[in-house]
């Protein structure tokens, strides 16, 4: 670990290289990637490397591993869903992994350095945005409408799933106050930016995706999401 990147710029360069490799696997080399993810094989992971290459292979055997591990067993779901939905799901998990690796390297950064690292990363389109050909939304989200944002995805009032908007330093500070008052309508848990949330288009309550059994990929196919409470009330 002595050679691991430590400065913000070094960590960002490492992130960009790994991201480029993952994006290449899910776009330009998608047929090759699809073929390597045979459901008959063991648990496989998609790795992006700092030199902008990618690899589908088994996870590291040592515990704990040298770096955070990508999503395990991505190949098992390959034939159980539409190809574009599967690629979108792998992209979402890849975004999560890329962030975890970057902030693993940045564990010793101070608060301002971590904020700068996040800002650099957030200025780049996510893997999910690239794979699904979505563009980042630049508007500041509002908490009082169906277009408010939570987690890595959000739902707009027209039911379309969209990605989280970029956050400038000023918006980042404002949103901290808003998000601290948001609770899951199912379990009552506080908002956590590391988890996928989905908003009800009827009552505008927010829920952990896991609490209502909705994945990011499944959310893409829902034109108007009704939470279990609204469904039960026949709204």
The pLDDT score that the predictor gives to residue 167 is: 38
The pLDDT score that the predictor gives to residue 164 is: 41
- Cα gap 14→27, rounded to integer Å: 20
Contact 33, 65 (CB under 8 A): no
Strand partners, 198: 207
Extract the residue ranges of the chain whose pLDDT is less than 50: 1-2, 137-180
Report the CATH number of the 197-234 domain: 3.30.40.10
The pLDDT score that the predictor gives to residue 30 is: 95
The pLDDT score that the predictor gives to residue 107 is: 92
The pLDDT score that the predictor gives to residue 135 is: 58
pLDDT tens digits, one per residue of 111-130: 999 999 999 999 999 999 99
Domain ranges within the chain, ordered by starting residue: 8-132, 197-234
State the pTM of this model.
0.57
The pLDDT score that the predictor gives to residue 160 is: 43
């Amino acid at each position: 670990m002595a050679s691991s990147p430590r400065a913000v710029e070094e960590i960002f360069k490492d992130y960009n290289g790994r991201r480029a490799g993952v994006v290449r696997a899910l776009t330009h080399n998608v047929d090759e990637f699809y073929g390597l993810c045979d459901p008959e094989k063991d648990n496989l992971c998609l790795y992006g490397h700092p030199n902008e290459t990618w690899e589908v292979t088994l996870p590291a055997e040592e515990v704990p591993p040298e770096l955070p591990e990508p999503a395990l067993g991505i190949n098992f779901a390959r034939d159980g869903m539409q190809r574009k939905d599967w690629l979108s799901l792998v992209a979402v998990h890849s975004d999560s992994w890329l962030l975890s690796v970057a902030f693993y390297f940045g564990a010793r950064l101070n608060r301002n350095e971590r904020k700068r690292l996040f800002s650099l990363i957030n200025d780049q389109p996510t893997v999910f945005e690239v794979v699904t050909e979505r563009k980042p939304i630049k508007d500041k989200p509002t908490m009082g409408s169906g277009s408010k944002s939570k987690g890595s995805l959000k739902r707009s009032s027209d039911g379309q799933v969209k990605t989280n908007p970029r956050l400038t330093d000023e918006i980042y500070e404002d949103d901290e106050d808003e998000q601290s008052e948001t609770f899951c309508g199912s379990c009552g848990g506080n908002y956590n930016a590391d988890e996928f949330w989905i908003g009800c288009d009827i009552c505008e309550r927010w829920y952990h995706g896991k609490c209502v059994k909705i994945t990011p990929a499944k959310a893409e196919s829902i034109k108007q999401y009704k939470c279990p409470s609204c469904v039960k009330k026949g709204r």
